[in-house]
Amino acid sequence: MHKYDLRLVADEIQNYADAVSKIANVEVEVVDRDLKRIAGTGYYKDKIGVDMSDKGYVNKHVMETKELIVITNPGENELCANCPDRDNCIETFEVTTPIFIEDEVIGVLGLIGLDDMSRSLLENNLENYLDFVRQITNFISAVMVNYYQEEENLSYMGTLKTIISYLQEAVIVLDSNNVISFINKSAENQIGLDENSIGLKINYSTPGDKVGSGSEYFIEVNGHRRYVVGEIVNVDNEKFNKILLFEGIRKVKSELYDMTSTISRSDIIGSSEVTKNLLDRIAQISKSNSTVLITGESGTGKELIATSIWQNSDRANNRFISINCAAIPETLLESELFGYTRGAFTGADSRGKIGKFELANSGVIFLDEIGDMPIYLQSKILRVLENRVVTRLGSNKEIPLDIRVIAATNKDLSKMIKEGRFREDLYYRLNVIPIEARPLRERKADIVDLTLLFVERYTKLFGKNYKGIDDEVMDALLNYNWPGNVRELENAIEFMINMMGQDGRLTLDTVPRDILVNKNIVGDEEIKTLCQLEKDEIIKALSKYGKTTEAKKIVAESLGIGVATLYRKIKQYEIEELSF
């Protein structure tokens, strides 16, 4: 079979042959390149499918010369010399022309007169008939080309559908009217459609914002409206005009969350009463939507607490967006939090940008180092907390928010309020549920647990063969004050694993010098009052021995005070209200 086979569109050609015959009052035949008649009218209709190889001399000549020929004397023309029907030819007139696709002849079209009237019509209107013939051959060529293009498209789409079906990425193929031509399972699941969605019209819009590696879109179809992140690929094809590609929301999250922590409750390590009470507190407040303020020194695991609240909440399957208010330049912080529309300010991305509050919608936003928030932005944060709406820079449109806010700071916000550096109204909005991340020196029992955790982590990381840790090393770790808290402990263990010898034991030789000499780095920390020191020691003892009546007797004895004095001090310092 040749590349272009007219037999594949024979039915369509026959329909037009019948129409041409009635219009021109002549008979029509169409022959393919193998000299088989594939269409015919009148006398020739019953001869469709006949092989004309032994007598189709005119047709052969037209195929070879690629030129139109007009024969006014059929049977007498020199081309008819070898035809077996030349002496009894019924034809009175013939116009035969090649059918081209590009420069290739794929068949022949003939207009044939069988009586004197038809001959007269052809002779008297020859130029009109010749133009008519050329138009018909062009049409047949177009039908053939369209057929193969359709076949190629169907084959292409068949292959494309097979590939798309196995993609985890959601894919929707639209025609030029935005009607669904194909949709894979991932897209059906994300938009809430089923296998009957083919043929439904999709409306989509975008504010022009960039999110991760894609752009944000709102897709509306069959009463569903969904937010997706991806891209639209335009295709130069009427039936397959656009391809919508968008990631599963979890994958988008993973790209966006490089700056966030995604740690579960099980990652909070420690067997001290302080940590046990903290875990109980997290379990108690996780299901709430109230704002949480986590306070504590640097390195105590405030973000760990925030992510644990998130992972134990009803929002665990939604986004956790973390932003460090101290790490972002003041000039950029507002646009990072609230986002902006295209052209909102000089240097803004032309596509606009979605802000962290909006990105956290339906989930949790963690405002770390909230104490470093510029005073002029604090009023905007307060408005978000009070009204639960956000407005992008350069826009007047309020976007409703359904978020839980968790904030954290290592600053003394009460002192900052007195100094005019932190808004009192914002403080009360944030401090609905206060949690204190207690320093490592107040939960000594956790040092052993964390040490073993970090030893396992870094021996695997460095490919070391760990055998054990000497008792005097653990004593040194327990007696050190850890001003840098858990972060400093982790760095110390990493150093010690690097220094560990071939025997696989952590000895005093591996311990950092500052820890051996018990040199606590004070840095910029304030000097504590005697009352604060007394309070700290009482908390430390209660953390170690517990808060039962019997335990408090042991605490009083260890502190060198009477039990009555201990109770008075506990009340004075409001220690019972603390979570440890």
Tokens of 131: 């133009």
The residue that leads in pLDDT, 206 or 288, is 288
CA–CA separation, 374 and 315 (whole Å) = 29
pLDDT surpassing 70 at residue 443: yes
Q: Which of 113-127, 186-200, 262-276 has the lowest mean pLDDT?
A: 262-276
Mean pLDDT over residues 86-105, rounded?
85
Q: Please tell me the predicted confidence (pLDDT) of residue 341.
A: 74
Helix (H, G, I), strand (E, B) or coil at 116: helix
CA–CA separation, 425 and 430 (whole Å) = 9
Residue written as token pair 């034809």 = 91
pLDDT surpassing 90 at residue 383: yes
Tokens of 515: 């820890």
CA–CA separation, 297 and 579 (whole Å) = 16
Q: Please tell me the predicted confidence (pLDDT) of residue 22.
A: 81
pLDDT surpassing 90 at residue 519: no
Mean pLDDT over residues 321-350, rounded?
78
Tokens of 389: 């709406």
How many C-beta atoms surround the C-beta of residue 397 within 10 A?
Answer: 10
Q: Please tell me the predicted confidence (pLDDT) of residue 166.
A: 54
How many C-beta atoms surround the C-beta of residue 216 within 10 A?
Answer: 24
When pLDDT is cut at 50, 70 and 90, the band that residue 147 belongs to is confident
Contact between residue 57 and residue 80 where contact means Cβ atoms under 8 Å apart: yes
CA angle 148, 152, 154 (to 5 degrees): 115
pLDDT tens digits for 174-221? 888 888 877 787 778 777 777 778 888 888 877 555 554 567 777 888
Q: Which of 10-24, 196-210, 288-302, 430-444 has the lowest mean pLDDT?
A: 196-210
- Domains of the chain with CATH codes: 6-149 (3.30.450.40), 167-248 (3.30.450.20), 260-437 (3.40.50.300), 441-516 (1.10.8.60), 530-577 (1.10.10)
The residue that leads in pLDDT, 166 or 65, is 65
Question: Interhelix angle for 485-499 vs 445-462, to 10°?
Answer: 40
CA–CA separation, 46 and 39 (whole Å) = 10
CA–CA separation, 556 and 569 (whole Å) = 11
**What is the pTM assigned to this prediction?**
0.51
How many C-beta atoms surround the C-beta of residue 565 within 10 A?
Answer: 12
- Please state, rounded to an integer, the average pLDDT across all residues of the chain: 82
92-96: which pairs have CB atoms within 8 A and are 24 or more residues apart? 92/116, 92/118, 92/119, 93/118, 93/119, 93/122, 93/123, 94/58, 94/70, 95/68, 95/69, 95/70, 95/71, 95/122, 95/129, 95/130, 95/133, 96/58, 96/59, 96/62, 96/68, 96/69, 96/71
Q: Please tell me the predicted confidence (pLDDT) of residue 266.
A: 44
Q: Please tell me the predicted confidence (pLDDT) of residue 1.
A: 46
pLDDT tens digits for 520-550? 444 444 567 788 888 888 888 887 788 888 8
Evaluated on CA atoms 127, 132, 136, 141, the torsion sign reads: positive
How many C-beta atoms surround the C-beta of residue 219 within 10 A?
Answer: 22
CA–CA separation, 538 and 558 (whole Å) = 10
Tokens of 4: 């272009």
Tokens of 272: 């001290």
CA–CA separation, 204 and 226 (whole Å) = 10
CA–CA separation, 40 and 396 (whole Å) = 71
